[in-house]
Chains A and B, each alone.
Chain A
Amino acid sequence: MKKFILPFTFVLAVLMYSCNEETLEPTTAQIKDASVGITTVNDLFGISNGMYNHMSKTEYYGRDYILYGEVRSDNCFSNGASGRITTPASMDMLPTDAHTNDTWGRIYKVIGVANLIISKEGTTLSGDQDVMNQVIGEAYAIRALAHFDLLTLYGQQHVTGGNNVGIPYIKEFKGTDLFPVRNTVAEVKGFIYDDLTKALTLMDDALNDDAKQRISTYAVDAIRARVGIYFGDWAIARDASLAVINSGQYKIIEAGKIDKADAYAASFATDSPENSIFELAFSNTDNNNINGIQNIYRGAAYGDVRVLANLRTIFDAGDVRNSPAMIGMQAGAGTSTWLTNIGKYPWANSGDYSSEVIVFRYEEVILNYAEALWRINNADPVALTTLNSIPANRMALAYGAINEDNILKERRRELCFEGFRFNDLARTGKDMPIVDAINQRYDDKGPILYGSYRYAFPIPKNERNANQNCAQNVGYLD
């Protein structure tokens, strides 16, 4: 009997063995394997949604990237109500700072997804090939914008002794170089222009998104204009701005008369207004909730970013941009009250985080155009009339002359809270103005002068630990 049982059991065990080999294959109910999961243009379109979705997160355009342009400047400060964004506000960061780390990580995630889309260029996916080209073109444009945004934060172009070191320009998804080095600022700029050019060769005006929630051909021009202004490539900025203006697709929000005064604030509360060129979509169910930009500008417990009183002093009496619908006193935590951004990234009521984040709007393009014209030829009369087309629609006085001060003043008035101020000061070689020593909290290290290492964020420690090829910025200790 023993003779039979042992072989029998052995056979049984072997049967179970072969059965188990199969049953060890895991169910993947929430994910797909990237190497086999992208086969159609629809898949690619879904991935481009993933790219825009990453852009809308709090570390990038969903909150922080915009705030960096404000809290470091003379527009806003952080009151530390929930301990947020205090270190960027004082321009006193360490390589371990969560802000420098998470924003670096998030923007490169956007670039990663863009590169995944670009990697499909020249492959065969089933579906509408024009849509495929459009999506790949959008990815090129986003890749350019994302690298530009990284450069403005981390590049050494405004730091004395920084040798114009830029940031790594990444062009491959899961590329072979696991330890990329930093490109120079000039290289990065060149790659940005190349990518924007490439984007336009792939994209088609006819496929532009009416809701403006995706990059359009005109948005590509708007990116180019912004980059041109930042680097002083005035002709590029002029031509790109003009391309947007000539499209006839956009209008300055008309709020130049009492009966239209509300239109300005309304444009920020509306999805896809007529001045929007590219905006990030938010809705009642798809938003950053209490962590979003809407809440940090005016929430109670999480309303860390408030307005410096100095900002109100630059407006003419009656300017709609200084109206109670735009800037006003609002309650914070407990019984405190603060000067607050009311009108941009607004909420209808607390708990409504659905307002869209406009990344490019027509007024910026107009201001870029005016500046480019003036920089190229100080005597160009169109420069002043272009500049004045903005105050004319804001119940503000027209400028008698165009010069750098007036350009910066009008940009500050029109674009405050939208993240432009720091870059405007930096690109024109200005020191950080101290307008409120108590609230600005640059601390006891004295004023921050142009060329200070604090004009750039530190490279995150996590990046340095994984990739020593990515050199640390001047002035920061690992």
Chain B
Amino acid sequence: MKKLFIIIAFLMLGCLNLVQAQTVRITGTVTSSEDGMPIPGVSVVVKGTTVGAATNIDGKYELNAGSDAQTLVFSFVGFKAQEVSIGGRSVIDVVLESETAELEELVVTGYAVRAKNSVTGSTIQVKADAIKDVSSASVDQALQGKVAGLVISSSSGTPGSVQDIRIRGAGSLTAGNDPLFVVDGVPVQNDDFAGSTAVTTLSALTSLNNNDIESVTVLKDASATSAYGARGSNGVIVITTKKGKAGKTNYSFSSFYGIQNKAVEGPKVLTGVQREALLIDAISNSYGVPKDQAIAYGNTNIANDFIQYNQWVTDGRPLNDWEKAYRNQNAPIKNFVFSASGGSNESSFYTSLAYNNTENIVLGSTFRKVNGTFNFTKKFTDKIKFSTNNSFSNVLQDGLMLEQSAYFGSPLAGKYFTSSFIAPKNADGTPNINTGNSYNWLYLKDHNVSFQDMNRGMTNSFLEIELIKNLKFKSLAALDYAVVEYKSHYNRNYGDSEGETGSTENSVEKNYNWVVQNSLAYNFIIGDHNISTMALVEYQKNRDKYLYGYGENFVTDGLTNVNSAGANKNADNTFNDWSNASYLGMINYSYLGKYIADFTYRREGSSKFPKTKRFGNFWSVGVAWNVTQEEFMKGIDVINNLKLRASYGVSGNSDIGLNKYQPAIKFNEDYAGQGAIYPDGYGNKDLTWEKNKNYDFGFDFAILSNKLSGSLSYFNKTTTDLLQAVPLSMTSGFTNLETNTNWGRAFYNSNVGSVVNKGIEAVINIQVVKTAKFNADLSLNFATLKNDVTKLAKDGLGNDIVIESGTRRTHVGHPINEWYMQKWAGVNPVNGNPVWFINGKDLTEGVTETYANAGKASQGTSPIPKYTGGASIHLDYMGIYFDASVYFAAGHQVFEDWSRYTNHDGVYSFRNYQGVATLMDRWQEFGDVTNVPRMVYSGNANFASLTSTRFLYDGDYMRLKDIVLGYKFDKALLTRIGFTGDAAIYVRGANLYTWVKDDRLKYDPEVRADGFTRLTNPPLKSITFGLNINF
């Protein structure tokens, strides 16, 4: 039809031409302001007429305008339309400016895209530039320090590991506190796909290519998150991928190469000589033997304990450094991305191919990712638009480490558990396999096989039809299919499966997730009232299939499949599914851009709850006032923007395991060759949504010609009807002795209790200098958080049922998981014994040298930082640019896990395992003032290394997250060498410097949300050299 119209128009033009013949011929070239390249397909029309032409492949046009023609209009998708006065000229060249540069900033909130000024909630958007060159394997790590109120901590430095993310604190005791991830409008899986709980985790997010990401928006308050109703209460992270832009095809190549090391070295361990000193001390203290006779006494009375020591002496007291033996110094990291995008008025595309190869800082462990993306948009007609986003990735973690606990086969635990009396290598250079309890990784890495291999394909397509003007119907379908293979073969000669003559476990998990959305959006204007409405129906289903095989007894080396196992083959498979159905209505109202109101309502049902409790209603109201739009502000030039906003709403959380409401019996055990059935799960027929009431108010501002801008928000988030694992008497027979989470506790899931999170978030951006040649920007963000439990379940006597572990306690009036333990009072200078406060707090009840008499008490802080923030600075001068950003967290405490062993005042430190070097400060004689008690030759010693505040440290730290120095090549220079495009090179350092407040804390201060240091891979620091080319 359009063609017909053009032909008719052409014919008519021809007629006019014949009749009047009074025309002027105009020619010219249209180029882009961005790169100076010609733009084909630009529409050139004489204003007020239908006379026009389009530019050809070289950006040239030619048209005959009437002699009365005044103005030409140049327009093209993605560029700002331009009107040019003809003024008698016959050659008119035009430079079109890219539209995005000038448009008001848009915020992607998932289901909708809004101008920043019409948003009523707390959202922060991070752009592609801040993400694409980050050396971390997944995009979430790039957000640390960039978003106020967002706390990210690395669960392990091993590439591909899951990150711990908390937005505005933790509202839930038992249900998940992880935010929801939304990619291109669709909630996606962000699970750990690891095949075993012992090995490195595998984040589903790793499958995304950081370079494909256009923006990441963090939604924090109810008006922003209630659209995700049910799963929005922990905040939402909305990821938008890059789409093609109309115009000539743009190619981009970026790569970086670098090296990685530990960001923080971690505690030093005892050398052989130090170990010997402690050994002598302990024997002398315990058995009253003079120090010079201690070794002889030991050799006579406890010969077994002196075998390794004697060998070490025979070998000439070598310095055996296990950490160094396993370390992959300056582990290389490589990343290449090639992308292309382009299109016309009808269609556009974006495609990319990415490759990443990162060696771990431990020998024999690597990460590799290959990712391909193809996004395509096509306008069938003016009214029908089709868009599809597709990506496929393969992620391989090879040489998996048993890093989730102190496994004897873990190379990370090796440093802290392998005796420095033992040499890592034999004289001939081969790995020493006479290592006591710990297994030598140098042998294992070459003889075991262990990997996780994830293939993930995501496709997301929609069709949008404009039914009538401004009424759009959109139908979206998204499929996400991930297949993860896990395999571990433990060799038959040495290590964990020596006893079984080798073993192999191999599993395949297939996760299939699909989402269907149908929506109607209608925007209309009545006078000064601008109203956008949307109604949406969403259905999501997840299916997870798992198949596992196991076998033992391998009779030969080199064959590692279950197929080659000779005995004890075992198999398992499971199937799980869940589904969600939702109905969403949204109204956004604006009066002259001054007054904004937002209404959201979502009704959602989840299969995790019983039939009568399945659906929940979630809603929010938000208002905003753009003060600067008011007439009375017109004369006040100093204020460029001022927006006041407030929102209130209810969102929900359903992040618990499946089928928890059913009193279940399970069938997965056997006895005497027959199936065994047992009850598993207490059940609760009333189980339903956890609710989150959230209010938020604040303002956004810009003053002094936008030189100073920022925002301030206050929020208060009350979580009620907590999905809580309420402790149950263990006599009920429901103690969990099967799964690691909540091990050793009996509980049932119920909706009881409440938690409040409140705080202030501030963001300030300052343009220090802005000139054509030199720019300097500074931005700061800061957030506070106060977390308080306000209600818990009650027991039969009407007392609160507190939730307590060895180190933490959750009770009313205190933060979730507040540290609760014995309080260390130091070492008695008289006898070297450890001392604790009897009441766990202070001297009022005195002190004790008997651990069992030391009471526990609240230590006032929790693992949740009270203050977090970041600062970043940007400088550029004549193409040279410099960026730096820091992140800090403060007001929380962390506890050193495994200190029972590594700081043992008895035999674990110098006989069974390995102690840390700080033990050298031990008490030795009357009058010694020290914090390390005397050494004794005992398995329990004096309990000095058991839980107490001795191992509780201030968690405050600051980290130089990023520092970048780069150069954008001068365009003219590039053109001279025949290259038309952009090119930049840079060097980037990540985590180069870390400041820790508490000098007793030797581990990396960035720990998981639970506040424990771990023997996993610590966060890494890296230096990368990169190159970006666009042409």
Contacts from A to B (Cβ < 8 Å): 1-2, 5-6, 9, 12-13, 16-17, 20-21, 23-35, 37-38, 43, 46-47, 49-54, 56-57, 59, 78-83, 86-87, 89-90, 92, 94, 96, 98, 101-102, 104-106, 108-113, 115-116, 168, 170, 173-174, 178-180, 211, 213-214, 281, 283-286, 290, 295, 299-301, 332-338, 350-351, 438, 441, 443-444, 460-463, 465-470, 476-477
Contacts and interface: CB of A to CB of B under 8 A. Distances in A.
A105 B578 contact: no
A286 B670 contact: yes
Contacts of B676: 46, 49-50, 52-53
A466 B672 contact: no
A466 B852 contact: no
Contact of A78 (B662, B675, B731, B939): B939
Interface string B801-817: 11110100000000000
Nearest to B850: A445
Contact of B801 (A33, A35, A337, A465): A465
A49 B537 contact: no
A75 B674 CA distance: 36
B727 interface: yes
B288 interface: no
B669 A53 contact: yes
Contact of A283 (B579, B611, B673): B673
Contact of B662 (A28, A53, A106, A286): A28
B473 interface: yes
B795 A179 contact: yes
B436 interface: yes
Nearest to A470: B729
B577 interface: yes
Nearest to A282: B672
Instruction: Give the size category of B's interface with A.
Output: 35 or more
A281 B304 contact: no
A17 B583 contact: yes
A31 B682 contact: no
Nearest to A89: B939
Interface string B164-203: 0000000000000000000000000000000000000000
A105 B746 contact: yes
B671 A281 contact: yes
A108 B668 contact: no
B541 interface: yes
Contacts of A286: 670-671, 673
Contact of B668 (A21, A30, A466): A30
A113 B678 contact: yes
Contact of B799 (A26, A82, A92, A468): A468
A463 B731 contact: yes
A1 B467 contact: yes
A443 B940 contact: yes
Nearest to B582: A20
Contacts of A295: 499
The 5 closest A-B pairs by CB, nearest first: A112-B733, A105-B735, A50-B678, A20-B581, A466-B727
Interface string B579-600: 1110100000000000000000
Given A32-B667, A34-B683, A460-B744, 8 more contacts: A16-B518, A27-B575, A30-B666, A50-B671, A80-B939, A335-B307, A351-B553, A465-B804
Contacts of B552: 351
A88 B580 CA distance: 49
A105 B730 contact: yes
Contact of A28 (B422, B659, B734): B659
Contact of A23 (B308, B467, B539): B539
A300 B437 CA distance: 8
A170 B733 contact: yes
A174 to B, nearest CB: 7
A281 B518 CA distance: 57
Interface in B515-554: 518, 520, 535, 537, 539, 541, 552-553
Interface of B: 287, 301-302, 304-305, 307-308, 311, 408, 422, 434-437, 467-468, 471, 473, 496-501, 518, 520, 535, 537, 539, 541, 552-553, 567-570, 574-581, 583, 605-608, 611, 614, 658-659, 662-683, 727-735, 737, 744-747, 795-797, 799, 801-804, 806, 851-855, 901, 907-908, 912, 936-940, 942, 946
Contacts of B567: 284
Contact of B575 (A30, A37, A281, A444): A30
Nearest to A27: B577
Contacts of A43: 677
Nearest to A77: B939
Contacts of A468: 795, 797, 799
Contacts of B854: 477
Contact of A53 (B663, B671, B679, B940): B671
Contacts of A116: 679
21 contacts: A1-B467, A16-B518, A24-B581, A26-B607, A26-B608, A30-B667, A31-B664, A33-B662, A34-B662, A34-B683, A47-B665, A83-B908, A92-B852, A94-B852, A102-B735, A173-B733, A180-B731, A284-B567, A299-B499, A334-B307, A477-B852
Given A5-B471, A20-B605, A28-B662, A466 B520 contact: no
Contacts of A59: 737
Contacts of B520: 6, 9
Contact of B853 (A92, A213, A469, A477): A477
Nearest to A354: B568
Given A2-B471, A27-B577, A31-B662, A49 B912 contact: no
Contacts of A467: 729-731, 795-796
Given A24-B614, A336-B304, A34 B672 contact: no
Contacts of A470: 729, 731
Given A31-B664, A53-B671, A17 B576 contact: no
Contacts of B683: 34
B518 A26 contact: no
B674 A46 contact: yes
Nearest to A115: B733
Contacts of A30: 574-576, 666-668
Given A54-B678, A438-B302, A467-B795, A281 B576 contact: no
Nearest to A26: B607
B304 A213 contact: no
| Most B Cβ at <10 Å: residue of A34, A350, A441, A466 | A466
A295 B497 CA distance: 13
B576 A29 contact: yes
Contact of B500 (A12, A110, A351): A351
A285 B568 contact: yes
Given A80-B912, A350-B498, A46 B677 contact: yes
B434 A335 contact: yes
B437 A466 contact: no
Contacts of B408: 82, 301
Contacts of A178: 728-729, 732, 795-796
B795 A281 contact: no
Contacts of B680: 31
Given A16-B518, A333-B437, A468-B799, A50 B669 contact: yes
Contacts of A460: 730, 744
B663 A174 contact: yes
A38 B664 CA distance: 11
Given A13-B518, A351-B499, A470-B729, A5 B666 contact: no
Contacts of B745: 462, 466
Contact of A80 (B568, B664, B682, B907): B907
B494 to A, nearest CB: 11
A336 B661 CA distance: 52
Given A33-B664, A334-B435, A351-B500, A170 B801 contact: no
A349 to B, nearest CB: 8
